[in-house]
Copies of this chain bind each other. A is one copy, B any other.
Amino acid sequence: MALDLVKRPDALAEAMAEAARLVEAQLDALIPATEAAEARLIDAMRYATLGGGKRLRAFLVMETAKLFTVNTTCAARVAAAVEMLHAYSLVHDDLPAMDDDDLRRGKPSCHKAFDEATAILAGDALQTRAFEVLAEEDTHADAEARCELVTSFAYAAGARGMVGGQMIDMLAEGKTLSGPEITRLQALKTGRLIQFSAEAGAILGRAPQAQRHFIAAYGRELGGAFQIYDDVLDEEGDAAALGKTAGKDAAQGKATMVSILGLERARAQAEHLADQAAAHLESFGERADLLRQLAKFTVTRKS
């Protein structure tokens, strides 16, 4: 089975650390500090993006890009754009009017470190910058590829993706969602951006449709596994390991896959999806080993 291919258990950790290092350097360069009057905005954007997170999405971009021999800097730029978008969504989700969370990645959330107005604006400007980076010439020599990055990214990010999912999540408080409803919510809220992160490498590499199809399927199942396992962690995790408030969904009366399936069946479902994700990579042979290991990591991580 695909997940048994793991030969060097530390290889994934090394590769993820390397991707995190590359994306951190890109973010630092793409959001330069300033002395201008709007410095506070830039400071908040840098606070929200730099020095934190697992960089799972960045790693996905970097690693699928390798399958299609994409230039590392181009891939790192797309990875940085994805992390900017992810960071903006966390900044806005943490606002008092939304999930009202004081803690993020083990430090005060953006509106706590700055203020609400600055956090709203920093999130807004991070989204703008993400789109700008994707469309800039340095990201790909072919404008068709850049436009495809922008439209695929927008699909994952907007009303039919991440923001739509967050809306459904807000409306779900105190309601009983069905399994299919939760699955759709999670696909929109987190799945689409994780899927885009995987597909981005194939878009950058101008991969043939068949290969792109497999990568998309991998990203989709991986996203599903990731989100269900997040519910598992939220149920049993502690705030110190998570770097955010644990048990929050249950406290808010939100239905999750754990509340529907129970802890063990939810865990089994996440593992099943991770196996399926890995299976979609068969045609890529050993070159996709780290992506297979990532699938396993997704459902065994502690935070």
Contacts and interface: CB of A to CB of B under 8 A. Distances in A.
B127 A167 contact: no
Contacts of A181: 37
Interface stretch (A18-26, A145-153, A255-263): A145-153
Contacts of A42: 159
Mostly, the A contact residues are helix
Interface in A120-136: 120-121, 123-125, 127-129, 131-132, 134-136
Given A120-B92, A167-B121, A128 B159 contact: yes
A98 interface: yes
Contacts of A143: 142-144, 146-147
Copies of this chain present in the complex amount to 2
A154 B132 contact: yes
A95 interface: yes
Contacts of A80: none
Interface string A24-48: 0000000100001110111001000
A166 interface: yes
Contact of A128 (B45, B132, B157): B157
Contacts of A147: 135-137, 143, 146-147, 150
Nearest to A133: B154
Given A116-B97, A128-B127, A146-B147, A154 B167 contact: no
Contacts of A97: 95, 115-117, 120
A154 to B, nearest CB: 3
B131 A150 contact: yes
Given A41-B159, A120-B120, 18 more contacts: A36-B164, A37-B171, A38-B164, A97-B120, A117-B170, A118-B170, A128-B157, A128-B159, A128-B163, A129-B154, A131-B150, A132-B158, A135-B135, A135-B147, A135-B150, A136-B147, A136-B151, A143-B144
**Which 5 residue pairs of A and B lie closest in terms of their CB atoms, listed nearest first?**
A132-B154, A128-B158, A97-B116, A143-B143, A135-B150
